[in-house]
Amino acid sequence: MLTGSLPQGAPEAPATGQETRVTARVAELEKRLGDPTDEKNPVSYARLLEADEAGEISEAGERVLDEAVLNADFVPREHGGRLERIDTLVRVMRQVFRRDVTLGLGYGVTSFMAGVNVWTAGSAEQRERLARILLDGGKVSVAYHELAHGNDFVRNEFAAKDAPGGGYLLSGEKQVINNADRAAAWVLFSRTSQAPGSRSHSVVFAERAGLDAGSYRVLPRYDAVGVRGCHLSGLHFDDTPVPADALVGKTGMGVELALRAFQITRSAVPGMALGAADTSLRTVVSFALGRELYRKSVMDIPHARATLSGAFLDLLACDSLSVAATRAVHLLPDQTSVYAAATKYLVPKMLTETMHDLSIVLGARFYVREGEFGIFQKHIRDLPVLSLGHAGSAACQATIIPQLARLARRSWFAEDPAPGALFRLREDLPDIPFDKLTLASGRDALSATLVAAVEELPSSTPEERAVHGIALKMMDELRQLQEASLALSPENRTALASPATFALADRYAVLLAAASAIGVWQQARFGDDTFLADPSWLAAVLHRLARRLGQQPPDLPAAVDARLHEEVLRRFESRRSFDLYNTPLAG
Amino acid sequence: MPASLTGHTRESLTTWLTERIALYLKRQPSEIDAAVPLAEYGLDSVAAFGLCGDIEEDFDFVLEPTAAWDYPTVHALADHLIAEFAAAEGGAS
C-alpha cells in the first residue's frame, strides 16, 4: 500500500466482496424498477402518481420489491439476509426512495427500524423468528409513538403488565404506526413499571399470529399530506396476552434500547430519502433544459442555473454527512450518538430547503399534480415525513445539547482525527457492532478531521486555496462553538434549553457536514472518480455551508461554477445520480 | 487520585446535586425533594447524561451515562456516588 507516502488518501482499492454485492444489488433494483419516465412501466412516475391520488401504495411497486426480496436487505447476513453495512443499505434503499417515498417507507424501512431493536437485544430465537418473517415477505411495525407524548416517549403510557400466569398483558394505544394493519409482528415500546424515569419501559416483540384477536384492534388509517399511500394507523390493545419470551432484552431496558437503535436508524434514513431530492433535481434540470423564456432556455438564466448547482451541492454535502454517520456506526460506535442526531436533524432540513429552491425554478409547474413534472410535487409533500416521523428536528437537537459541554471540554481540539476509512465510500467495513453503540461518549473524531485538515490541506491551486481558507474559518467556528458550549449554564443543557442553545446544535451539525465533505475529498483525491478527486466540489460545498453559518467567504474561482454546471449536465444526460456515488440510473 | 473524590458525605453530595438539578430545572433548591425521582420534575432521559457530564467536570470522575437513570433520586445518586468514589479510592491505593 502507498498509504505511507500519501497520508491524506489511499489509492482506491479494487472492488471487494461487499462493494461488488452492493453495486450489483443497486443495479438489480434499478433494472427491476425500470425507466421511471416510461408511462407504460407499472412503476413509472405516472403510475405512482395515480396510486398516490388514490391514497394507495403502488401494488406493482410492492410486487417488484417482493420479487427482489427487499426485506432481505433488513436482515443481517448471519441470519440469512443481505444486511452487512448501514451505508450500503442506504445506497440500496435510495433507489426506492428516489422513485417513491411511499414505497421506501411503506414497503419497508419501518421493518428495518423495528428489526434493529431485535438484532441489538433480542434472543437467538427472536432473531431467528424475525428473520423468518422478513425473508418470507412479512412486514414488521415499529410502535414507539403515542400522540400525547410526541418525542417525549419516556412518558409513554402503553403498558405491558405482568400477567397472572406469567407473560404480559398489552394494554393501551399506539398511534400513527406504519403498516400497523398488515404487519406480521409489531415491536412495541411498552411501559413495564409505573415509576417515572428511564428504566420503566421495555420492548415487546409481538407476533400477530397467535394473539387473541378479540382483545386488540387496528385503528382507522390517518389521511396525511404526504406519503398518502402509506398504511399509517394505530393499535388498541385490551389486556392482550403475550408470552414472557416476547420481551426483547431485559425489563426496563426500553429507553436504552431505543436510543441505541436510533443511532442506526437516524444515521440511515436521511441518506435513503436523499434519493427523492435527487429525482427532484433531475426533474427540474429536465424542465430547465426544455423550457424557453426570454428567448433563452431556463438553464441559461443565471439564477436558475445557480439554483440547480446549489441543489447538487446540497446533495453532496448531505451525502457526505450521511456517509460519515453510517460508516461511524461500524468504525466509531462509541461516538455515533451525536452524529446520528446531527444527520437526522440537518439532512432533512437541508433537503427541504433544497426542494423549496428547486420549486422556484419549476414555477407554476410545481403546482401541477400530474404529467412530466408531477413527481416533484409528490416528493415535496412526501419528504417532510422524514423530519416528522421517528425523531423530530428539535428532538435531535435535544439529543446533542446535553452533550455539547462534555464534547467541548473533553474532545474538541484534543481528539485524533477520524480514520480515513470513515470516508472511503466503497471500502469494506466490519460487521455492525450492535452491542458497542454507546449512549453518550463525549468523543468526536469527525470534528477533529476538520481541525487536522487545516494543517494538511494542500494550497497550490486556486480551488485548493479556497478550500483551505474556508476550512480555516470553519475551525474558528468550532472554537467559538467550544467557548459557547463551555459557557452553557445548566438550564441550557436540557431539552428546555434556550433557542440560542438550539442554534449551537444547528451550527455544530453544519460543522460536522463540512468535516465529512473534507474527509470524503481527502480520500477521493487520488481515486478513480475524477469529479470527486477535483477540489472544486469541495470548495463549493464548503462555501455553501459557510454561508449557511452566516459567514461571508470570498467568491470562488470562476472555474468552479463552470465545473459544477458541466457535471450537473453530464449526470443528467448520462443518467447518473447526483450524489457521491454517481450511480447509473434507469432514467 | 484526584483530591476531589475525598471528603464527601451524603449531605454534601445531596446539597451539590440538589443545587445543580435546581439549575437544570429552573427551580429553587428547596423545591427539590431528595427522595422524589428526578423524572417527576421533568428531567428527561437525555438531560440525565448532561448531569453525569457535570459530575465528571466537578469531581473529575467518569460515571456511566445511565447512572441518573439507575439511581433516579438525589438520595440514590448521592449514595451511589459515595460508593463509587470509595471504590475508586480503594482501587487506587
Q: A441 to chain B: nearest residue by CA?
A: B65
**A440:B24 CB<8 A:** no
Query: Cα–Cα distances in Å, from A409 out to A154, A178, A415, B3?
Result: 29, 41, 11, 20
Q: Answer yes or no: is pLDDT of A1 > 80.
A: no
Q: Which 3-state string (H, E, C) describes A250-312? A: CCCCHHHHHHHHHHHHHHHHHHHHHHHHHHHHHHHHHHHHHCEECCEEHHHCHHHHHHHHHHH
Which residues constitute the domain of residue B58? 3-92
- C-alpha A445/C-alpha A506 separation (Å) is 18
Q: Answer yes or no: is pLDDT of B28 > 50.
A: yes
Q: How many domains does chain B have?
A: 1
Write the CATH number for B43.
1.10.1200.10
Judge residue B35's burial from the number of C-beta atoms within 10 Å of its C-beta, 0-12 exposed, 13-18 middle, 19 or more buried.
Answer: exposed
Dihedrals φ, ψ of A159, to 5°? Answer: -120, 145
Query: What is the distance in angstroms between the CA of the first residue and the CA of the last residue of chain A?
Result: 38
**B57:A439 CB<8 A:** no
Judge residue A27's burial from the number of C-beta atoms within 10 Å of its C-beta, 0-12 exposed, 13-18 middle, 19 or more buried.
Answer: middle
Can you read off the three cell numbers belonging to residue A90? 442506504
Query: Cα–Cα distances in Å, from A36 out to A50, A227, A314, A315, A367?
Result: 13, 18, 23, 21, 20
**A199:B48 CB<8 A:** no
CB A542 within 8 A of CB A560: no
Q: Which of A494, A498, A502, A504 to mutate to test the interface with B (most CBs of B within 10 A)?
A: A494
Name the CA radius of gyration of chain A, rounded: 23
- C-alpha A358/C-alpha A380 separation (Å) is 10
DSSP secondary structure string, A401-426?
A: HHHHHHHHHHTTTTSPPPPGGGG-TT
**A490:B43 CB<8 A:** no
Angstroms from B31 CA to nearest CA on chain A: 16
pLDDT band at A479 (very low <50, low <70, confident <90, very high): very high
Is A550 in a helix, a strand, or coil?
A: coil
Query: Which region holds residue B91: left if phi is over 0, alpha if psi is between -120 and 50, else beta?
Result: alpha
- Relative to beta strand A185-191, strand A140-143 is parallel
pLDDT band at A449 (very low <50, low <70, confident <90, very high): very high
Any CB–CB contact under 8 A between B69 and chain A? yes
CB A233 within 8 A of CB A221: yes
Tell how far CA B1 is from the center of its chain: 19
- C-alpha A267/C-alpha A330 separation (Å) is 12
**A398:B20 CB<8 A:** no
State the pLDDT at residue A146. 72
Beta strand extents in A69-209 (DSSP E only): 140-143, 159-162, 168-178, 185-191, 201-207
State the pLDDT at residue A390. 59
Residue A170 CB neighbour total at 10 angstroms: 27
Mean pLDDT estimate for chain A: 92
CB-based contacts of A489, cutoff 8 Å, min separation 6? B23
Q: Which of B46, B56, B59, B69 to mutate to test the interface with A (most CBs of A within 10 A)?
A: B46
pLDDT band at A13 (very low <50, low <70, confident <90, very high): low
Mean pLDDT of A537-554: 98
- C-alpha B69/C-alpha B38 separation (Å) is 9
- C-alpha A547/C-alpha A537 separation (Å) is 15
Can you read off the three cell numbers belonging to residue A178? 406504519
Angstroms from A495 CA to nearest CA on chain B: 7
Q: Answer yes or no: is pLDDT of A10 > 60.
A: no
Q: Which residue has the cell 389486556?
A: A239
Q: Answer yes or no: is pLDDT of A70 > 60.
A: yes
Mean pLDDT of A290-317: 90
Any CB–CB contact under 8 A between B54 and chain A? yes
Asked if ipTM goes beyond 0.95, one says no
Alpha helices in A332-371 (DSSP H): 336-362
State the pLDDT at residue A49. 95
- C-alpha A399/C-alpha B15 separation (Å) is 27
Angle between helices A499-524 and A393-410 (to 10 degrees): 70
Domains in chain A, CATH or no CATH each = 17-137 (1.10.540.10), 141-251 (2.40.110.10), 392-417+442-556 (no CATH)
Any CB–CB contact under 8 A between B76 and chain A? no
CB A53 within 8 A of CB A369: yes
- Relative to beta strand A201-207, strand A185-191 is antiparallel
Residue A66 CB neighbour total at 10 angstroms: 12
Tens digits of residue pLDDT in A268-298: 999 999 999 999 999 999 999 987 777 778 8
State the pLDDT at residue B63. 87
Residues 10-39 of B with CB under 8 A from A: 20, 23-26, 37-39
State the pLDDT at residue A96. 97
CB-nearest partner of A491 from B23, B38, B53: B23
Taking contacts as CB-CB distances below 8 angstroms, the residues of chain A near B42 are 496
Residue A294 CB neighbour total at 10 angstroms: 8
Tens digits of residue pLDDT in A234-245: 999 999 999 999
Percent of chain A with pLDDT over 70: 95
DSSP structural state of residue A382: H
CB-based contacts of A104, cutoff 8 Å, min separation 6? A93, A96, A97, A272, A273, A275, A276
Determine the residue type at A309: S
DSSP structural state of residue A461: S
**A197:B26 CB<8 A:** no
CB A321 within 8 A of CB A267: no
Tens digits of residue pLDDT in A367-380: 777 778 889 999 99
Tens digits of residue pLDDT in B42-67: 888 877 888 888 888 889 888 888 99
CB A115 within 8 A of CB A82: no
